[in-house]
Each structure stands twice: as C-alpha cells, then as structure tokens.
Amino acid sequence: MLVKIRVDDKEIEVNKSKNLIYELKKHNINIPHFCYHPQMGVEGNCRMCLIELKGAKRPQIACDTPIKDNMEIFTKSANVKKLREAILELEFINHPLDCSVCDQVGECSLQEYYMDYDLQPSRMQVPKVDKEKHLNYENGIIHDQERCVLCTRCVRFTKTISKTDELGVIKRGDTSAIAVFPNIKTKNRYSQNIVDVCPVGAMTSEDFRFKRRVYFLKTANSICHGCSKGCNIYIDHEKKKYAKNDLIYRFRPRVNENINNHFMCDDGRYSYKLENKNTLEFAFIKNKKVSDIKAINQAKEYLKNAIFLISPNCNLEEMSAIKSLAKEVNAKLSGFSESYIRVGDGDDYLIQDDKSANRNGLKILEISQDFNELKKYINSCENIFIFNSKAMLACEELLNLTKDKNIINISSKENELVEIANINIPCSSFSQKSGTIINCDNIVQKYDRAIISQRMDLIDIVSEFLGREVDLDIDLLMKEK
C-alpha cells in the first residue's frame, strides 16, 4: 500500500509495508547505516540512521521507524547532523586509521560516511584498545577485530541466512569482538557473503585480499553460469599491462529480489577462475594452428550428414542460431547434457543440482535431450559438431561411438576434445558476450558483455557457416512460446 510522507519538506510516495531506509533509497534519499540490511532486517545497534520525526520527543532510528501516512521526517537538520558526527566519533575511538593499507578502501561505508557527514579531527588523548588481527576463520575469510564496528551483520547472516551459527559477539564494552565459537570454523557454502555484508574492512576475502584496488576495476552486470538458479552478479575485471584480454578478479552478487536477493553461493563466486584459465585461443586443423576463418571454411565441408551437440550453457540467441543452422543443412540436433546434473548437490536456498545455466532454453526451443536418440544420431552420421559442450567428455559410451567420426569442436576451453577433434575453433565464453537465459524458475534474464575478446562469438561462427547474418528476435521467440 502506497502512502504519502514528507521528507525534508519534500512529499514522496512510499510502500507502507516496507522498511523506511529501503523506501527512501528508491527516491535517492540515503540514510547512513551500518547494522541494517534489507534481507536481514533491523538490529538497531549502530544508531547511525538516527532521524527526527515530527511529534516525537527524541530522535528515532530510521531502520525501526514504521511508515505511516502523512508522517514527516527530517534527515538534514542541524540536530541530525550533530548526532551523525557524534556516532562517527564513537566509531573512530578505537578504529585504526589504516585506510591506505586496508583492503576495503574504495568500498568502505565508514570511510564514505566520514567524508559525507563528519570531517572532524580526532579528540582522543588515550591509546586505542588493541584487538586481534588477521584471524583466519577458514573458508577464505580473514578477520581483523580492531576494524570491526560491531554491526553484527555477519553474525545475523550465519543465523538467519546460512543457518549455521558459526559467529557470535564475545566479551563486553570496548573489548567486544566478533569471534567463531570454539572448535568451529565458517564452513558453509555461502560464507563469502559474510565479506559482502561487512560494511568496513573487518571481514575480508582471502581470495581477493590485496589483489587489486577496487577503484581500478571495471564492472559489468551478468548472470552466474554455475547452476540453473541464474544468480545476478557483478563481474569485476581489469586489463593487465601488455595482456591481450582483461583478467576477472571476482564475481559479486547483484541484487535481484526475485532470484538471489542479495547473496550467491561460494561455488558460483569462485567460478570466475574458470573464465580466466584453460581458454582455447587458437584454431587448429589436425593439431596444426590456423586462422579462425580457415578452420571455419574447412569445417563447412563437414556440415552434411552431421549432428550438432549443443551445450545447455549456451544462451537463447546461440541455441536459436544453431537450430537455424541445423535446419538449413538438414543436420540432427541434441542438447544431451546429463553430466551437468549433480544429484543431491543442491539445497533449499540457491544451489541447484543442475549445473547448467540455460537448460530451459533447450526446452523452449524443443531441442531433444534424450540419450538414446543422440546415440542413434551418432551411429547414422559421419560428422559431429560440438558447440561448447562437455557432455561427450563425461560419457565413455559416447566417446567410443565417435572413434570413426569427424569431430569439429567449437569451444571456449581447452579440454580433451582438442586432442581428438579434427578441427578446433575457439569461441568466446559467457563473460565475453551478452545474451538471454531462462533459469530453473522460468525467469528470463539478459546479461551484458563484460570483457571484449579477440575470439569470435558462437553466433558469428554460425553466421560464417551460413554465409549470412543470423536473424534473431528473442523477444518475438518468447512471445510465440
């Protein structure tokens, strides 16, 4: 239900059932806060979000202030400004001033709030309270207790989201600190989100720690291809000096309240490493390096009496293009990919058994995934085109059937197929192209190209096979289905 409220003499409409901080942010009104998190609710211990409410005797914390029709609040008054300065001074009493060597610099809420709301010199005349540094909580988490502002986001994450309860607050007063329980380490499959929710440099990622300053990185919106959930992510990347392509430094969760909300699993997060390594950079004809165009022209000779094996990680545009090519040359088409499914690996939160990103795309385009049908096709054909699929490698029975066949391997990765294929043609990986996928909940999602690669997109390779550009209209396709 939408109601009208006044904020600093400006009237806006907000959802009465939502949190005040969350709703104000939609109107570009940012209330500083440490402990509040949209998915973990209200804690109310940092007091950074104090505002003035008309009719109230004293300042109120915005995170726990119910939205009411015609309420009037003040976020920029002299009293609010003074309160924020006081809270920040309290936070800095024992906080080390080591921004230049802190891994959180560039994305630290405390640093940003100091610049926005404080800019006051320290009045401290006594030594800071020392706490422990570089505590290894395992699973890639390094903790500096002295940098912690005790917002308890990390504690609440393990309690309400991962439901593993590894973290808690120990001791009292200015010696209070976040710690793991005795004989317990942070061994849950979502543990890296603890680093994400930390607003300061207390929880840092061992994997990313001191690898690159965040303000040097470029960021693109993408979709995780680690499983069929299709979590929304940011790809952070940068081109190293003299390097051909950008290097991906990390995947981070991107908010989508219909899919992954604010989080992602660790397996998906670390899958960025697969994008950086074992890339197929050159085309080969019988192990002889050639140009991409020469390999494509040679492969055209094998299009007759062929079967196309397509990956469930291909996007809708690629699947549609390959299906068009199959129809043009009267080739058989299969999306068999049983090896992408790991039964029992999923959970009741984000992780799915199906480790492919677009299996529902195969269903939408009515591409068969039947194993027996694929075997029949292979037995009756002479040539096998493998479009970025690893299904053949995981099935010895299929490999045995292909021994006397001509294999044209179109792949973004170097794998065992490179050794046995007659022709290898490199193509771009998912981070190097844009496209559309359909997740396990039948939600259609588009993702952007993060990295510009010298390798051809799979659609461009199909266009070369056809001798013309592929005519694609995914929006029209989805309407028809």
pLDDT at 34: 95
Four-residue CA torsion sign, 53, 56, 61, 66: negative
Q: Among the CATH numbers 3.40.1350.10, 3.30.360.10, 3.30.70.20, 3.40.50.11440, which is that of 99-205?
A: 3.30.70.20
Distance, CA of 399 to CA of 409 (rounded, Å)? 13
pLDDT at 245: 77
- Specify the DSSP element, H or E, that contains 479: helix 474-480
Which band of pLDDT confidence, cut at 50, 70 and 90, is reported for residue 475? low
Instruction: Look at domain 2-92 and name its CATH class.
Output: alpha beta
Q: Is the Cβ–Cβ distance between 411 and 313 less than 8 Å?
A: no
Average pLDDT over residues 77-99: 92
Residue type, 16: K
Give Cα 99 distance to the centre of its chain: 27
Question: In this predicted model, what pLDDT tens digit does every residue of 145-179 receive, in sequence order?
Answer: 999 999 999 999 999 999 999 999 999 998 999 99
Range scoring the smallest mean pLDDT among 83-92, 446-455, 466-475:
466-475
Confidence at 473, pLDDT banded by 50, 70, 90: low
What's the rounded Cα separation, in Å, for the pair 235 and 72?
40
Quick one: fold of 218-276? N-terminal domain of TfIIb (2.20.25)
pLDDT above 60: residue 479? no
Indicate if the pLDDT at residue 480 is higher than 80: no
pLDDT of residue 476: 55
Mean pLDDT value of segment 375-385: 92
Beta-bridged to residue 409, according to DSSP, are 386, 424
For the CA atoms of 364, 317, 265, 393, the dihedral, rounded to the nearest 10 degrees, stands at: 90
| Local confidence band at 443 (pLDDT 50, 70, 90 cut-offs) | very high
Determine the pLDDT at residue 474: 64
Sequence ranges of the domains in the chain: 2-92, 99-205, 218-276, 283-480
Is the pLDDT at 317 greater than 90? The verdict is: yes
| Token pair listed for 296 | 């494509």
Q: Which residues pair with 135 in a beta bridge?
A: 143
Residue for token pair 């001509």 = 406
The 3-state secondary structure of 348-397 reads: CCCCCCECCCCHHHHHHCCCCCCHHHHHHHHHHCCEEEEECCCCCCCCHH
Domain 283-480 listed as CATH 3.40.50.12780: no
> pTM of this prediction?
0.92
pLDDT, tens digit, for every residue of 320-335? 999 999 999 999 999 9
pLDDT band at 481 (very low <50, low <70, confident <90, very high): low
Residue identified by tokens 């291809």 is: 225
SS3 content of the chain, % helix, strand, coil (to 5): 30, 20, 50
Q: Decide which of 338 and 240 is more confident.
A: 338
**What's the whole-number mean pLDDT along residues 252-276?**
96
Local structure of 313: helix, strand or coil: coil
Instruction: Please tell me the distance from the alpha carbon of residue 54 to that of residue 22, in angstroms, as a whole number.
Output: 20
The letter for the amino acid at 132 is: E
Tell me the average pLDDT of the chain. Answer: 92
